[in-house]
Amino acid sequence: CPRLVGSSMLCVLQSDLFVIVVTGLLGFTNGALSVACMSIAPDAVKEGEDYEIVQSRKEYGGYIMTVALLLGVTLGLAVAVPLNLAADYLRT
């Protein structure tokens, strides 16, 4: 990092340690929130008279949450890989 006046913050933002810490915090908070939502969502189904219907609705809710999670990861990967390749191409 060049020693210019006012460049210390820029050096911190460009350091590998900063990127690793921010990425780790983002992954931890995203993972914790995802686990909490996946755990709590089936219990959000309204209780009814018939136990079997309520249980099947809870199962379907769990299936929908799982599909949404897998779809989000897949789409994120499908977008990130081409963007990374494009960024590498533009850098050279």
What gap in Å lies between CA 82 and CA 85, rounded to an integer?
5
C-alpha dist (Å) from residue 12 to 1, 58, 62, 64, 74: 9, 47, 42, 41, 32
Rg of the chain over Cα atoms, rounded to whole angstroms, equals 22
Tell me the average pLDDT across 10-39: 87
Percent of the chain with pLDDT over 90: 35
- Asked if pLDDT for residue 82 goes beyond 90, the answer is yes
- Model pLDDT, residue 44: 84
Confidence of residue 4 (pLDDT cuts 50, 70, 90): low
